[in-house]
Amino acid sequence: MNILTIALRNSRKKWVRTLLLLLVFTLGVVSIVSLNFVSRVVGEGLEKKLVSFGANILVSPISEKLTVSYGGFALGDMLFDVNYLDERDTIARIDAIALRKNISVIAPKLVVMDRVQGMAVAIVGVRFAQEKQLKSYWDVAQGALPGEEPAPAKKAGGGMHAASTPASAHTPPPTPAPTPAPIPAETSPTGLAQAAMAPLGLPKDTYSGNGVLVGSAAAAKLNLKLGDKVPLGKTHMLVTGILAPTGSEDDNVLLADLTFVQNAVGRTGKANFLEVAALCSGCPIEDIVNQLGAALPNVEIKTLRNIVEQRMYSVHFVKRLILSVSLVILLTGCSMVGISMLSAVNERKKEIGILRSLGFSRRAVFSIFFAEAASIGLLAGVVGYLAGFAVSFRILQVLELSEGATLSFEPLHLLATAVILALLTSLASLVPAWKAAAIEPSEALVTL
Amino acid sequence: MNTAATAAPDLGAAMNASIDQAPILHAVDVTKSFTQDGTPTQALKGVSLSVAPGEFVSIVGRSGSGKSTFLSVLSTLLRPDSGQLTYNGFDLTTASEADIDGLRHRDFAVIFQFHYLLPYLTALENTLLPFMRGLKPVSRAQKERARECLERVGLADKGHRLPGQLSGGEQQRVAIARALVKDAQILFADEPTGSLDSATGSTVMELLSQIHKDGLSVVMVTHNEQYASLSDRVVRMADGLVV
């Protein structure tokens, strides 16, 4: 028993008031903490994407799109005339721009839909050599990339690693595609690898077999294993590798050689879009986009960075908005503490007088009111932080917003939150506590 | 015991019936005025009193005579406008607030007409209140002392009860136990039986007499002549003066 007993016992006696104050502050803390967690994780996920994207530019044909909705029922987007880019011509034009030296990778893609084991799935035709450069975060969990030998053992850490598994030992070697060979390199006006597909200095992509790399989620959903056959048009592909989860769209698709896919679906030399990675250090992205625009009229050129930045802006906007609301809640809580304490001072005038008559100093009386407010803040900080953590965990789980980033519990943050809240409520109680300390014992007790 | 209280403003008069021992508390020519509804009212018009160690002094008078104001000045709950107040030779009129707080904590004990117990603390905790001034926890010895005090006022088995679970007389006895717990030198009692029935009032007065017999100086304000007669000396006040 000490002076804090007086503060805590009074809080317990006035439990309804204490509970209400606690509730208001806890709500404020929950919203701030969960908002902070969610926005941080989402932001980290987007940053991760942003980093992995580099300064990528998306080159795609202009398509007319119509969003169809009738009677409040959304029917989705309708595309008129899906346009395709001529892979070779587009790359040649990109290769010809003045800032060509700033472009590190050009990765064309053709996306087709097919049914595998009765389920619709996207099959993306890619140039694996370029894709490897673009997606350094890829990690092949089982088998290997089409055209590559499985690695003897999986290395620690992220990045592009292939892991050998027992299954891979039984994987039949993918057969070369019975389709036309890739565009010969000598036909490229620029001499780029894979018939002008890979920019200068990049390894040539000579693979054009029927091997397919399956995204982690797609493999689980379609129950695909190494060596499984996957139909595509009138031919089939062979699973050579399964990606480890990446947190990107790659988890849900099947990735096959572009030439193979083009030929299998009768779109030889066509691509839906091209991803262009510009060298990012001081890269004049806007200039590159302008030059690409000039070189590729009637083609849409978007910087993925801008898209991600727009999403980040939205995240930050929502964060600021909720932060403002949370601050209003906390300010309301502080006002409630202040008003409640002020009325408590008037109610407890005689109590203060008794304490003063027993030799309690002004500072001691001040401490009692201060401690009462601080204890509410401290408790609200701890409960609010834990609840906020649980809420944000649930939000990220339900809305699948983590984008590959993870939520981590920080005991130091818990401590800091509790201390900050205790300080905040103590500050709110400054005036009432000062008023209580100023009460003269005679004023409270003496009947004149 | 000689009557040392007088309305005369001179120190000599206050001390003229000089007691055998040096006074523990000594008030000389104390004045105090208040402003009520814009009108100044002089509650004390120059009152002097000396209290010897171990003396039981009753201050009696009608309502508005200034007796409670005088007790508040003596117990340092009010500062006088003028005059001198000393405790064991220490001038309380010029003492710092910290010194006054220390005095109230160590040497002075006050009980009021209304018990003024903290409603959310048990009888034992209320008794221990003087030891709860800081962060230092109450010691085992202090708890033991509080139990002894409760036993002395006949509430040994009710230490765990909250004030709301005690009768008026019991609450006043807890207030007395709280006054006793710190081994004060002087007890100020402002109408301690004022809110009690006669039977309970008598019990409380018996208790105060016993405490006085144990050597504690007591200054009590009352308008009950019967209770006043239990004291060593009766000081009568009227219209802000000792008569």
Residue that wins the pLDDT comparison between A308 and B134: B134
Whether B124 shows a pLDDT value over 90: the answer reads yes
Residue B17 has pLDDT above 60, yes or no: no
What value of ipTM does the predicted structure carry?
0.85
Percent of chain A with pLDDT over 90: 18
Say if residue A274's pLDDT is above 80: yes
Cα of A53 to nearest chain B Cα, Å: 58
The 10s digit of each residue's pLDDT in A2-35 is 888 888 888 888 888 888 888 888 888 888 888 8
**Of residues A330 and B187, which shows the higher confidence score?**
B187
Residue A167 clears pLDDT 70, i.e. is over it: no
Buried b (16+ CB within 10 A) or exposed e, A64-79: eeeeeeeeeeeeeeee
Indicate the residue of A1, A442, A446 with minimum beta-carbon distance to B125: A1
Pick the more confident residue, A69 or A264.
A264
pLDDT per position as a tens digit, A171-226 = 444 444 443 334 333 333 333 333 334 444 334 556 668 899 999 999 999 999 99
Neighbours of A295 (CB within 10 A): 18
Please give the average per-residue pLDDT across B120-129, as a whole number: 93
Lowest mean pLDDT among A89-103, A270-284, B97-111, B163-177: A270-284
Asked if B154 and B166 touch (Cβ cutoff 8 Å), the reply is: no
What local confidence, expressed as pLDDT, does residue A80 receive? 59
Distance in Å, alpha carbon of B198 to nearest chain A alpha carbon: 22
Average pLDDT over residues A441-447: 69
Contact A113, A123 (CB under 8 A): yes
Q: Is B130's Cβ below 8 Å from some Cβ in A?
A: yes
Percent of chain A with pLDDT over 70: 75
Which of B97, B116, B133 has its CB closest to that of A445? Answer: B116
Is A358–B78 a contact, with Cβ atoms under 8 angstroms apart? no
pLDDT value of residue B31: 93
The predicted model gives B179-192 an average pLDDT of 88
| Count of residues making up chain A | 448
Q: Look at residue A111 in the predicted model and tell me its pLDDT.
A: 92
End-to-end CA distance of chain A: 34
Higher-confidence position of B137 and A448 = B137
Q: Which residue of A has its CA nearest to B136?
A: A2
B1-104+231-243, CATH topology level: Rossmann fold (3.40.50)
Chain A: residues touching B (Cβ < 8 Å): 1-6, 9-10, 12-13, 350-351, 353-362, 364, 440-442, 445-448
> Shortest Cα distance from B197 to chain A (angstroms)?
20
Q: What's the pLDDT score for residue B57?
A: 93
Higher pLDDT, A154 or B80: B80
- Could you tell me which residue, A185 or A399, shows the higher pLDDT? A399
- pLDDT of residue A55 exceeding 70, the answer is no
Q: Average the pLDDT over A125-131 and give the result.
A: 89
pLDDT at A283 (0 to 100): 56
Q: Tell me which amino acid residue A208 is.
A: S
A350 has a pLDDT exceeding 90: no
Domain boundaries along the sequence of chain B: 1-104+231-243
- B19, HSE (Cβ side, Cα atoms, 13 Å): 21
Contact B133 A360 (CB under 8 A): yes
Spatial neighbors of A422 by CB under 8 A, at least 6 apart, are: A374, A375, A377, A378, A381
Whole-number pLDDT of residue B27:
92
Chain A CB within 8 Å of residue B42 CB: no
Residue among A361, A354, A375, A383 nearest A5 (CA): A375
Q: What pLDDT, on the 0 to 100 scale, is given for residue A306?
A: 66
